[in-house]
Amino acid sequence: VGSCVGLLFYIRSPEGRGEWDRLCLRAWLLGDLVRKFETARFARTLSALIKGGVPLLDALGTVQGVVSNRLLVRAIGQVQVRVREGKGMARPLSESGLFPALALNMIAVGEETGKLDGLLAEVANYYDQEVKRSTKRLTSLLEPVLILGMGLIIAVVVISMLLAIFSINDLPL
């Protein structure tokens, strides 16, 4: 109990939150899902803000508040600095190594063609569909594992009860 409480306090600290977010992005099954979900959220929000006429620098600042992963927030902050310097968005995002290649390519094409808002909306729709597919795949994988686990627990309980019953016959009278 003490280690769980200590872990919770550590995760709530800024450095602990950063480590937790790094772990979430590197997790075996969930890391890819988290990355796709955050990419969709980033692209959807940025697309809506740009379509609404918000300047790109202000839109990036707003998107930082929407994205929940601290590593991605830091990467977006670096993008904001690089855009302020007159550089594009796609290159700093690719240097972070946190965004999927397809999203980076679409953002680069959007910057070159001047249709960033439309391509960001496409990226958001694509990754929303990917999140739905990945979630469906994960639940279909998780269901048999849970059934097998419950079967093992029930088997242990039944075997322990049977062993207790059979051990009664071994008692000397």
d(CA 14, CA 105): 32
Which residues, including other chains, have CB under 8 Å from residue 17's CB and lie 6 or more apart?
A: 11, 70
| Residue 72 C-alpha from the chain's centroid | 10
**pLDDT reported for residue 17:** 81
Highest mean pLDDT: which of 30-39, 74-83, 149-158?
Answer: 149-158
Per residue in 117-156, pLDDT tens? Answer: 999 999 999 999 999 999 999 889 889 999 999 999 999 9
Average pLDDT in the 66-89 region? 89
Token pair belonging to 151? 């079967």
d(CA 159, CA 173): 25
Question: Which of 87-91, 102-106, 107-111, 156-160 shows the lowest mean pLDDT across its residues?
Answer: 87-91
Beta carbons of 119 and 106 less than 8 angstroms apart: yes
**pLDDT reported for residue 25:** 85
pLDDT of 173 strictly over 70: no
d(CA 103, CA 149): 38
Comparing CA positions, the residue from 134, 107, 132 lying closest to residue 120 is 107
For 113, the 3-state DSSP assignment is helix
pLDDT of 41 strictly over 70: yes
Question: Does residue 169 or residue 69 have the better pLDDT?
Answer: 69
Computed over every residue of the chain, the mean pLDDT equals 90
